[in-house]
Amino acid sequence: MTGGSVVLESGIRQFRMAMAMAFGRRINVAVIDRLVGDALATIDEFGAPGNDVEQLLAGMFADPDERTRLQTVALQRTVRYLMARSPFYRDRFAALDTRPKSVTVDTLSDFPVTTKQDVVQRRDEFVCSGTRPYLATRTTGTTGPPAEVWLSHYEVELWSGLTVLSMLLHGEFGPADRLQVNISSRATAVVHENLRMCSLTGASIRVLGLIPPDETLAALLAAGPDDTAAPTVVHTYPSYLAELVLAAERSRLGPADFRLRHIVTSGEILSPALARAACAVFGVARVESRYGMTTILPVTGRDCSRGHLHFDLNTGFCEVLSIAEQAPCAPGQLGTLVVTPYYPYRECMPMFRYDTRDLVRSIADDTVDCELAGTPAFSPILGKADHLLSTGAGPVTTRDLVEVLEALPSKPWPARFRASVVRGVVHLTVPVTALSGLTTAEVEDSFRQRNIDLRVQTAQLDLGEAKALRRLRSDLLENTFTRTAV
């Protein structure tokens, strides 16, 4: 086959995918798999995937002039699908006498949000007729009863293909990489995605789960600079990364002991102090903080060099609503993130205006000057709406507390605390070990520098009691049988 024929075939595949995205038709997964092959071949020959792949991933939604029109078309297409296939939404839209043409970007706030409670209590009504549930995945349950979501085979194959294209484009993954996965075994959709990602690229993968940190650390060690068996990429949670950093520091390990080039975290708040420490210990340039949730897959967010959170406009619509009135928030206002994944990216258990209860602030487009400025920007996730503290000086989020605590010289990673508001002032209970040489007045002054009036109380707690203060994903430890000396 001539080089011209290869280029022509790749161009045809990109055109077919672009047309499917534009007209809302089911995307041929085989086409995406071949596009991954095209990108790998281009990288192998030229060292970069080329602008055509980047334009394909950015999509027509990145054009500001077309964005609103295309978003409205995608929302209306999604509503038509839900009215025809979803028992839950068929009833909801019928009660509202909804017509698909009435759904626009401007009228979206007229429709009620979908809550986690809806999914937990009426799960079977969310499964669309004519689809074949293939894989069940559950939320971790760290913020309440877990929700179970069914996915079709088409969905999980599609999402993993799109993820591979994105990671190839950004230079985050390739055939020479060895991925180590340290997330909960219940996150079946993400584990499946990682497995297929390695299958498509020819990379290797080790799925360890949340085993004891010292065991994970041993698996990360490189025998030397030429040890190709050592992991190059790790995917884990911030709280588990914190335990890995502490374990490495206890063992006096540093960058020369590892072969890592990329660390990806998700599921929790990553503080700047922890990210810096992980970079110093493991020798990576940056720890990436991604955003994703089982119920809104495949809509995900990635952080940029400025710390903004950016979402892929092709796969879904994101809103920020005020917590009390559920009205649209202006840029800079604190609100909860509401997400609608588009059909055909979601077909088995789609969600319409799913309220994640995750707090963010949107950022005005004309103030965004990062490398992802072509897509709307949000603040990092600030915490759950149900954990927001209302004080006399204004709201205090979980991120506010985590960032101050984890920046203390005592390195209380991951931060464990209990917070409440008494007469307009935050009262914070922390393990006594979190202060380690500091006075409560010094810690309170650290918060005061962030305009948070707070009173600190310490408690003598064992490890189990400290964990009970604030449940984290690192607590989902999957212990293994290990050989011990007799």
Using one digit for the tens of pLDDT, what is the confidence trace for 84-101?
Answer: 999 999 999 999 999 999
In angstroms, the CA 477 to CA 469 distance is 17
Across 388-407, average pLDDT: 96
In a domain, 352, yes or no: no
Kindly list the distances between the CA atom of residue 238 and the CA atoms of 112, 173, 457, in Å, as whole numbers in the listed order: 33, 20, 25
For residue range 200-216, what is the model confidence (pLDDT) as tens digits?
999 999 999 999 999 99
**Minimum mean pLDDT range among 5-9, 281-285, 342-346:** 5-9
* Average predicted confidence (pLDDT) for the chain: 88
**463 three-state secondary structure:** helix
Task: Find the helix or strand (DSSP H, E) in which 323 lies.
Answer: none
**313 three-state secondary structure:** coil
Residue 216 tokens read as: 């994970």
DSSP states of 62-116 as a string? G-HHHHHHHHHHHHHHHHHHHHHH-HHHHHHHHHTT--GGG--TTTGGGSPPB-H
% of the chain at pLDDT higher than 90: 67
Supply the pLDDT for residue 7.
Answer: 47
Interstrand relation of 287-291 and 233-236 (parallel, antiparallel or unpaired): unpaired
Domain that includes residue 416, residue range = 388-475
Q: Are 425 and 444 in contact (CB under 8 A)?
A: no
Residue 319 has pLDDT above 60, yes or no: yes
Q: Pick from 17, 42, 58: which residue ends a domain?
A: 58
Find, among 141, 102, 73, 113, the residue nearest to 335 by Cα.
113
Q: Are 167 and 194 in contact (CB under 8 A)?
A: no
Supply the pLDDT for residue 186.
Answer: 82
- What does the angle CA 465 – CA 467 – CA 469 come to, to the nearest 5 degrees? 80
In angstroms, the CA 58 to CA 63 distance is 9
**What are the b/e assignments for 321-336, b being 16+ CB within 10 Å?**
bebeebebbeeeebbb
Task: Find the helix or strand (DSSP H, E) in which 410 lies.
Answer: none
Token pair 């699908």 is found at: 81
Helix pair 51-58, 153-169: axis angle to 10 deg: 130
In a domain, 125, yes or no: no
For residue range 166-190, what is the model confidence (pLDDT) as tens digits?
888 777 888 999 999 999 988 888 8
Residue 272 tokens read as: 């700047």
Across 339-346, average pLDDT: 95
Residue 66 tokens read as: 């077309």
In angstroms, the CA 81 to CA 346 distance is 10
In angstroms, the CA 267 to CA 290 distance is 8
DSSP states of 123-161 as a string? HHHHSPTT--EEEEEE---TTSSPPEEEEEHHHHHHHHH
Across 146-160, average pLDDT: 91
Which residues, in sequence order, are CB contacts of 376 under 8 Å at separation 6+? 310, 311, 313, 318, 362, 363, 365, 368
Across 306-333, average pLDDT: 91
Supply the pLDDT for residue 187.
Answer: 86
Supply the pLDDT for residue 30.
Answer: 83
In a domain, 42, yes or no: yes
For residue range 31-48, what is the model confidence (pLDDT) as tens digits?
888 888 888 887 777 666
Q: Read off the CATH number of the domain in which 461 is found.
A: 3.30.300
For residue range 435-478, what is the model confidence (pLDDT) as tens digits?
988 999 999 999 999 999 999 999 999 888 999 999 999 999 88
**440 three-state secondary structure:** helix
- What does the angle CA 168 – CA 292 – CA 192 come to, to the nearest 5 degrees? 65
In a domain, 236, yes or no: no
Residue 310: exposure state from Cβ atoms within 10 A (0-12, 13-18, ≥19): buried
Tell me 380's DSSP state: P
In a domain, 200, yes or no: no
Residue of higher predicted confidence among 398 and 369: 398
In a domain, 276, yes or no: no
For residue range 51-75, what is the model confidence (pLDDT) as tens digits?
554 455 555 555 667 788 889 999 9
Quote the number of domains for the chain. Answer: 2
The single-letter code of the amino acid at 94 is A
Residue 479 tokens read as: 């212990």
Q: Pick from 14, 42, 58: which residue ends a domain?
A: 58
Q: Are 326 and 373 in contact (CB under 8 A)?
A: no
Largest interatomic CA distance in the chain = 76
